């Protein structure tokens, strides 16, 4: 049984002086179960929407006149599903999944870590192997906000033993691929308070987890060590974070800027 959620994601950019123009891509529209979704930009701009290579909804816009701030607000209502029970389907990965078996700078792991991943998966079915790898990551890397940056790799998080959900997802993806399982990085939102009242807005989170292929795509959340279910809202999938940033853009203007992000999730039903 799933939930019905409302997600409000607000990003505010403030510049030290006037920005002469800006060009932006937004990935904040949920991928499944969407009942309604809107994106509002200030200063007002025409928004062009398309699907990227990975199937993510992208809202692109540019502001071609001087502005001192930029706000992007995405509000969506979605229906989510409970955890899925995995089923094993025999077969080898399709050649089209080769991009999800290779390394990227964020997901590349050392030979020693690749060997550890192979050992964890050896003699187990894909589900057991993926869960074993996920458990190794959760045991090694402590969740510590602010301990890493956007460009930190999964290997670096392993080496220092701490990181955030992005790092754990990168690390898990890299180890799954090293063990021969196609894997992809998933970004979205997490409702962090299971006992919240219906209609109670809570401070939500932009979140990252993984999906691996075993005849079908199945999710794992290495940060929380819990099933991916009704509290998770999928927005984007790709090789790593670089394929799925919520807001990506360039601007002409001052070097200094400040960004403020607020995510609010409200359980409407379920």
The CB-based long-range contact list for 37-40 (8 Å cut-off, 24+ gap) reads: 37/74, 37/75, 37/76, 37/77, 38/74, 38/75, 38/76, 39/72, 39/73, 39/74, 40/72, 40/73, 40/75
Q: Report the C-alpha gap between 246 and 17 in whole angstroms.
A: 24
What is the four-CA torsion angle of 245, 228, 96, 169, rounded to 10 degrees? 50
The rounded Cα 37 to chain-centroid distance in angstroms is: 18
Number of Cβ atoms within 10 Å of the Cβ of 176: 30
pTM above 0.85, yes or no: yes
Segment 90-98 shows an average pLDDT of: 71
pLDDT value at position 104?
96
Q: Report the C-alpha gap between 172 and 50 in whole angstroms.
A: 29
Contact 65, 19 (CB under 8 A): no
pLDDT value at position 83?
87
DSSP-based three-state secondary structure for 182: coil
CA distance readout (Å), 191 to 31, 151, 173, 207: 16, 25, 23, 10
Q: Report the C-alpha gap between 133 and 128 in whole angstroms.
A: 9
Q: In the predicted model, is pLDDT for residue 90 greater than 60?
A: no
Q: What is the dihedral sign for C-alpha 193, 194, 195, 196?
A: positive
Tens of pLDDT, residues 28-67: 999 999 999 999 999 999 999 999 999 999 999 999 999 9
What is the DSSP code string of 47-66?
A: -EEEE-TTS-EEEEEEE-S-
Segment 210-232 shows an average pLDDT of: 93
Is there a cis peptide before residue 219, judged by omega within 30 degrees of 0?
A: no
pLDDT value at position 97?
87
Burial of 103 (0-12, 13-18, 19+ CB in 10 A): middle
Segment 83-107 shows an average pLDDT of: 80
């Amino acid at each position: 049984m799933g939930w019905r959620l409302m997600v409000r994601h607000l990003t505010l950019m403030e510049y030290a002086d006037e920005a002469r123009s800006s060009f932006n891509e937004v990935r904040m529209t949920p991928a499944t179960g969407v009942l309604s979704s809107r994106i509002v930009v200030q200063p007002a701009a025409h928004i062009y929407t398309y699907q990227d290579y990975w199937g993510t909804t992208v809202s692109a816009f540019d502001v071609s006149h001087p502005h001192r701030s930029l706000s992007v607000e995405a509000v969506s209502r979605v229906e989510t599903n409970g955890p899925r029970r995995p089923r094993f389907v025999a077969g080898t990965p399709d050649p089209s999944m080769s991009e999800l078996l290779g390394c990227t700078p964020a997901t590349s792991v050392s030979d020693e870590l690749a060997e550890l991943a192979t050992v964890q998966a050896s003699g187990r079915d894909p589900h057991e192997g993926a869960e074993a790898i996920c458990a190794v990551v959760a045991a090694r890397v402590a969740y510590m906000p602010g301990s890493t940056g956007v460009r930190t790799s999964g290997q670096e998080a392993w080496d220092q033993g701490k990181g955030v959900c992005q790092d754990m997802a990168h690390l898990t993806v890299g180890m799954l691929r090293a063990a021969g399982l196609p894997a992809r990085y998933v970004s979205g939102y997490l409702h962090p308070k299971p006992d919240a009242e219906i209609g109670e807005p809570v401070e939500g989170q932009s979140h990252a987890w993984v999906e691996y292929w075993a005849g079908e795509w199945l999710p794992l959340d290495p940060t929380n060590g819990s099933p991916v279910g009704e509290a998770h809202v999928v927005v984007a999938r790709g090789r790593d974070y670089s394929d799925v940033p919520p807001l990506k853009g360039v601007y002409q203007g001052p070097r200094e800027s400040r960004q403020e992000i607020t995510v609010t999730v409200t359980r409407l039903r379920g």
